[in-house]
Structure 1
Amino acid sequence: MTTPNPVSRPRANTSNKKPNTLYLVSTEASKITNISLYSGRAEITRSFKLALTEGQNQITIRGLPQCLQKDSVRVEGRGNASIHDVVISKTPLASDTETTSAGSMYTPDRKQQELKNQIASIKHARAVLDAYLGAFNAEKMVVSELVDRFASHALLARKLDNEILDLEQALAEQTESAKKQRHGSQAEAMHLPWQVAIDVWAQADEEEATILIVYAVDNADWAASYDIRADTRSSGKNVTIHYKASIRQDTGEPWVGVPLTLETVTPAFEMVSPSLSPWIIAARAQPGYVGPGVHIVQPQTAMPAYAPIIIQDRPSRSSSRSRSRSRTEMPVMQHRPVIVATDKGDVTATFRIPGRINVPSDAQQHNVTISSFEFNAPLLWHTVPKASARVYMEAKIKNESEYAFIPGPANLYVDGSFVATTSIPAVSPQETFNCPMGLDSSLRVTYHRQEVNNSVTGFYKKSTTKTYTQRITIANTKSAPIANLKVVDIIPVSQDERIEIKLLNPPLRPAAGEPVDLQRTTSMASAEKDSTSKEQQSKSDRTRVSPGVVARWDGAGDPEANQDVVGRNGRVRWDVSLRPQETVNLVLKFEVSYPEKLVVEDRRWPQAVTYGY
């Protein structure tokens, strides 16, 4: 079906044939062939099968939803015909008369009147029957003939009475149906008020032409959600992700048995690349005296030609004060509005839901599973016992599927038990992300009370030395080993050359890139020379403390960590491997030395803590 050339008009209908008029209700005369669901809207394609006659065909399709976006409607067709005109408008309020696709008129009031007329006619026949029976002269009839007449009367009267009862029941049902239909039409007019009028010219009679109407609607949305199930006892594919879509629609028309496509495309708001205006720096303009009590601030030629700014002074104040105030009251330079765009880029994907689904128009969330994936994801544990004795678990997952994960909430299940809710970020195929898996109560961490020893050394220049010892105990109550437990603690760092901090245990070398003063104030039990190779340096940053325990500065060797601050922030890390039912003890020992009369403050707290003189 095509749109004709404006110059070449179709041949005039010489037979003065009336246009073929068709009235269709969208939800009854069509089926939805596709729904593309975006964030905040949906694009719906409806297919209509209808018969066209040669010449002009005027098709009116009613019952399109209230939330229809008028500018989005487009009409296509399949058949030996051309589309001449498309008009989109609100359906006028109609009476009880409805028009069918065949063009015949169906009036509920007329049907009721027909039933009433039939009832009146049968009642009249019943009355005639009674009058006919009363006209007989019983004295002139034998008994046997009289019995036959009474029997015939009773039989015919019973038949008429039953017909009256049936018709009265049909009238009551028709009246109730018309009432419901009237209310339904009013409700439908509120929720489905739009109509499309299409003028089609057919070259010949077409028994089965196809009209496609594509339109966008609001009040439809979808969001990604996930179920993440982890099995800590499995050595193979230990993480399963169920990728789901939460669909909601309140468009006014139900989606019954429809094919659904989920779109993640985000519309682009800036189609033209931005440009930069000149950035001008110039000397501040000096005010000039133009009259008593009046100063004018005139911009220099290098500045844009703004209108002069007149500042009135009070007559009682001196000109010097006027000049001072004029300088302080110059207008504030304004910045151009900043347009903020995402720094990661949009993750776009298209998901076609297999089969057909039903989504009622009820504004409720309906969950549909997109797919399920199994991953071999290493499990990691970490704890910061100084802040909390809890052990946190996470999985390092590589998205090996062909689907892009879009941001959405996730329910976490570990070993079959629900543990927490989290969220999944935007993840492209083959991208790796860390997924929090909640707390692991089977790992017990004890952060013991810190031990502090004080000593004073020196004869003329006395100094105070405080030695701190912190013990950490970790017990694995699992029946399975733990291979990736990260424990992080911290020692203080000095910002004063008079305060010297020494890390005694674990014996770690100064991190690469530390300034000279920090290397002087931070020492270790056994130092090693700097290695020229980064690989050798990374290995030397690690110190084996005990079987299954390796110590290093937190972030050392991590490509995602800023190596310039590794070790300078005082964070110490142990990488611990535990056998089933094993317990390990970690020791953090350091000393702080400073002149005896120097007041030392701990700046971690809102108020300074004095350590001594």
Structure 2
Amino acid sequence: MLQKCCSIHILEKITFKNPIMKKLLTSLLIVLQIQAFTAEKPKSVKSEIKEVSVFLSGAQVTRAGNTNINAGTSELIFENLPSNINEQSIQVTGKGDFTILSVNYQLNYLKEAKLVKNIQSLKDSLDFLNDQLIYEKDMQVVYQEEEAMIKSNKAIGGQNVGVKIIDLKEGADYFRTRLTDIKTKWQAHQKKIVKLNKEITLIKNQLNVLNSRENKPSGEIIVTVTSKTPTLAALTLSYFVQDAGWVPLYDLRAKDSNSPVDLAYKANIWQLTGEDWEKVSLSLNTGNPTLSGSKPNLAAWYLYIYYPQKKRGKRNETAGFASQSIVMAKEESKKSDKAQLEEDMVSDALTSANYTTVAEGQTSVEFKIEVPYNVPSDGKHHMVEVQKYTIPATYEYYCAPKLDKDAFLIAHVTGWESYNLLSGEMNLFFEGTYVGKSYLDVASTNDTLDISLGRDKNIVVSRTKLKDFSKKSFVGSTKKETRGFEIEVRNKKKQQVQISIHDQFPLSTNKEIEVEHIEMSGAKFDESTGFLSWQFDLAPTETKKFKMQYAVKYPKTQTIILE
């Protein structure tokens, strides 16, 4: 191509005396220019998205398309692609009697990215509403002009000519009727304008949420191929895009406190790539290509003596080398929510989990869903059920009445390591009722996952301060305070339950403070933490009571909070 351009440039500089030769060379120049222009234009390949592999961050999109290739070297172009394709991830393969020479990615700023269907539909609606708004405002202007014309010509008769009563009455009736009609119609148009403005605002807000790709360049991939003969080429194109991902989500259902738990593994898929995924073969991958794959290397660690620099001048009250550590405890709320509907007694409907196969790789797991899926480019979460598991579990009620007198049902789930789970939010259902949310933390190194299934009001627990065992006394320079509590547990359920009650004795951090353990009713006691625990079975309608009592000695000039 460079040689052709140079030849054309040289021919343009030559001056010929023979007119015929000049015409021939001019014609040759035009032919060469047409050929050069034709050779530069790549052939567009129409392609469709066939497969999408969604990672925790990002997605690999696979397209397929067919086209005819001429003999020789030619360029093929895939148009209307996302503008944020990872160029290093592009792969092109093909079937046919041809050779792929090169693959290049570029942005076309002269051609804006194709709008996705829902965005285009909203823009069309917005244009229609704006046209209606213009019409309504124009009609108001017409009625205003008519009103002004009537008011400017309201004089009846002349200055020297009187007006008959009947003419005056007819004129007044006309003005009243016409002006009333004008005002009424103007108000009707005003109501329509207010309604249209509300609808226009809603659509504009929705367009902002959808992150319209308007005024963004279009991505293009140019594939250079060569073939000895004309042939049909089947091309497959794959690339990685950032604006997509999925988040794990779980539904944990326990039929009762004697059955294993059913765990539904779900995924919330989202994407804002600018192209809708319609009827694609979808797979979910637990890998994350955006993370660095390079292993970290330790360097030698040398220690040096630190000599702090002395500051001159008045020291600020907030200055200094000491730092204060603040530890914040975060307590997860386990409030009950509204009950959900009971499942139908007929056979369960199939979900995408029934059509999912699992492939375990060396560093990740892939869930391939055989049912075609639609995922629009709207940034919203689209839920897909990945797998269903039935997991063995044991149940126990837990209560710490010092903090909360409600008993929480805890499911101890074992063998969870073999299910390829990720940490994520979990919806909890017990006996067919939604009881709240929890968090599945698979980063735990424990063999058993402890999952709270919410509060059970049929286990009644109380913690009462015993006045006879709570008193103060003074001995010399010391003060002795005694505290006693009674814990009562009652089972209102129709079956026996296992329950664990937890409380605590205070711990001393000062040699001047002495703690005496007087009564603990056979509780298991941990001296390092001061925790007390009672584990027992409770029959239906049975009630059990436990007492705990302790005393604390400390200087009477000091104050200590004992409750």
TM-score range for the pair, normalised by the shorter chain length: 0.5 to 0.7
Task: Decide which of 504, 513, 516 is 2:518's aligned counterpart.
Answer: 504
Cα distance in 2 for partners of 1:357, 1:92 equals 31
In the TM superposition, 1:146-545 aligns within 5 A as: 190=215, 193-207=218-232, 209-233=233-257, 235-237=258-260, 239-266=261-288, 267-268=291-292, 271-281=295-305, 325=312, 348-400=364-416, 402-426=418-442, 431-451=447-467, 452-454=469-471, 466-483=481-498, 485-495=499-509, 500-506=514-520, 543=522
Residues 429, 355 of structure 1: alpha-carbon distance in 2 compared, 3 angstrom cutoff: farther
Deviation at 1:89, TM superposition (A): 2.1
Deviation by residue 1:387-440 (Cα, 9 ceiling, x = unmatched):
221222222212447432112111111111111111111359995322222222
Deviation by residue 1:538-588 (Cα, 9 ceiling, x = unmatched):
xxxxx4xxxxxxx211xxxxxxxxxxxx31332211112111121111111
Cα distance in 1 for partners of 2:103, 2:285 equals 28
Q: Secondary structure at the match of 2:393?
A: coil
Residues 505, 81 of structure 1: alpha-carbon distance in 2 compared, 3 angstrom cutoff: same
Cα distance in 2 for partners of 1:60, 1:194 equals 10
Q: 1:359·1:366 contact (CA, 8 Å) conserved in 2?
A: yes
Q: Which residue of 1 aligns with 2:538?
A: 578
Task: Decide which of 81, 91, 99 is 2:98's aligned counterpart.
Answer: 81
In the TM superposition, 1:111-150 aligns within 5 A as: none
Deviation at 1:473, TM superposition (A): 1.0
Cα distance in 2 for partners of 1:429, 1:386 equals 29
Q: Which residue of 1 aligns with 2:135?
A: none
Q: Which runs of 5+ in 2 are unaligned?
A: 1-34, 113-211, 322-361
Q: Which residue of 2 aligns with 1:69?
A: 86
Cα distance in 2 for partners of 1:43, 1:63 equals 17
Deviation at 1:64, TM superposition (A): 0.7
Q: Which runs of 5+ in 1 are unaligned?
A: 1-15, 96-186, 286-322, 334-345, 508-542, 544-550, 554-565, 606-613
Deviation by residue 1:350-408 (Cα, 9 ceiling, x = unmatched):
22223221112222211000011111211222111112212222222124474321121
Cα distance in 2 for partners of 1:588, 1:282 equals 52
Q: 1:225·1:409 contact (CA, 8 Å) conserved in 2?
A: yes
Deviation by residue 1:226-271 (Cα, 9 ceiling, x = unmatched):
11111224x342x111100001112221111211221222322654
Q: Which residue of 1 aligns with 2:524?
A: 552
Q: 1:224·1:406 contact (CA, 8 Å) conserved in 2?
A: yes
Q: Secondary structure at the match of 1:60?
A: strand
Q: 1:404·1:429 contact (CA, 8 Å) conserved in 2?
A: no
Residues 189, 575 of structure 1: alpha-carbon distance in 2 compared, 3 angstrom cutoff: closer
Q: Which residue of 1 aligns with 2:55?
A: 38
Residues 465, 194 of structure 1: alpha-carbon distance in 2 compared, 3 angstrom cutoff: closer
Q: Which residue of 2 aligns with 1:601?
A: 559
Cα distance in 2 for partners of 1:219, 1:282 equals 47
Q: 1:454·1:464 contact (CA, 8 Å) conserved in 2?
A: no
Q: Secondary structure at the match of 2:371?
A: coil
Residues 59, 188 of structure 1: alpha-carbon distance in 2 compared, 3 angstrom cutoff: farther
TM-score of the two chains, using structure 1 as the length reference: 0.55
Cα distance in 2 for partners of 1:438, 1:347 equals 35
Query: Aligned-pair RMSD on alpha carbons?
Result: 3.8
Q: Which residue of 2 aligns with 1:131?
A: none
Percentage of identical aligned residues: 22
- Number of residues of Structure 1 aligned to a counterpart in Structure 2: 384
Cα distance in 1 for partners of 2:304, 2:512 equals 47
Deviation by residue 1:17-58 (Cα, 9 ceiling, x = unmatched):
986976336xxx223232121233211111222222322232
Q: Secondary structure at the match of 2:370?
A: coil
Cα distance in 2 for partners of 1:469, 1:199 equals 87
Cα distance in 1 for partners of 2:108, 2:548 equals 79
Task: Decide which of 588, 593, 608 is 2:548's aligned counterpart.
Answer: 588
Q: 2:479·2:556 contact (CA, 8 Å) conserved in 1?
A: no
Q: 2:98·2:226 contact (CA, 8 Å) conserved in 1?
A: yes
Which structure has the highest strand share of the two?
2
Deviation by residue 1:292-349 (Cα, 9 ceiling, x = unmatched):
xxxxxxxxxxxxxxxxxxxxxxxxxxxxxxx9949x99xx99xxxxxxxxxxxx9843
1:30 aligned partner, one-letter code: S
Which structure has the highest helix share of the two?
2
Cα distance in 2 for partners of 1:72, 1:457 equals 79
Cα distance in 1 for partners of 2:506, 2:213 equals 72
Residues 500, 90 of structure 1: alpha-carbon distance in 2 compared, 3 angstrom cutoff: closer
Residues 415, 355 of structure 1: alpha-carbon distance in 2 compared, 3 angstrom cutoff: same
Residues 352, 430 of structure 1: alpha-carbon distance in 2 compared, 3 angstrom cutoff: farther
